[in-house]
Amino acid sequence: MDAVTTHSPQFARTTHSPRSARPGHGLTVADAMDPCDYRIADDSTVDQADDILRAADVEFLLVRDHFGRCEGLVTRAGLRPFLARSRSAERTAISATSHQRGPFAWPTMGLALAAIAMRIKHLVVWPVVDEDGRILGVLRADHVTSLLAVTAA
């Protein structure tokens, strides 16, 4: 099993213009969701995650379990304590690290509610999953904020 998978067309971004929202109906997470190109298996090592983060020049990887469900999100900053002890990084599985875990956003969730949840949890990126827990994409706080600002104007 590969440690990383990349974006597939079935996870393509759902695009809806703020103008397409009917009056009285708010935007949902699906309106602001971005695809996530990089994922890693939860049994992959910290070293493997670091290699992918560096090679792809990304700040985070979505973590999936052996059933393909979202397990969480790991960041470069979250891996630093393990990378400081290089021997530890070679043996430590991502699942053993402290990384962002659920609950996650879902596509039908109101975008304003998601923005509040992200603010309370201090999240810059939040995984979006379907009803089976499979990864659909991510919400980025800056994109959510700008989309909500446009619709409020």
Whether 133 maps to a domain, the answer reads: yes
Whether 5 maps to a domain, the answer reads: no
Whether 7 maps to a domain, the answer reads: no
Tell me the three-class secondary structure of 86-103, residue by residue.
Answer: HHHHHHCEHHHCCCECCC
Number of residues assigned to the chain:
153
| Widest Cα–Cα separation across the chain | 57
In this structure, what CATH number is given to the domain that contains residue 29?
A: 3.10.580.10
Whether 1 maps to a domain, the answer reads: no
CA distance 148 to 25: 13
Q: What is the tally of structural domains in the chain?
A: 1
Whether 100 maps to a domain, the answer reads: yes
Q: Going residue by residue through the chain (153 aa), what tens digit of pLDDT does each one get?
A: 344 443 433 333 333 444 444 433 589 999 999 998 899 999 999 999 999 999 999 999 999 999 989 999 999 888 888 888 767 667 888 988 878 888 999 999 999 999 999 999 999 999 999 999 999 999 999 999 999 988 877
Domain carrying residue 85: 13-152
**Mean pLDDT over the full length of the chain:** 82
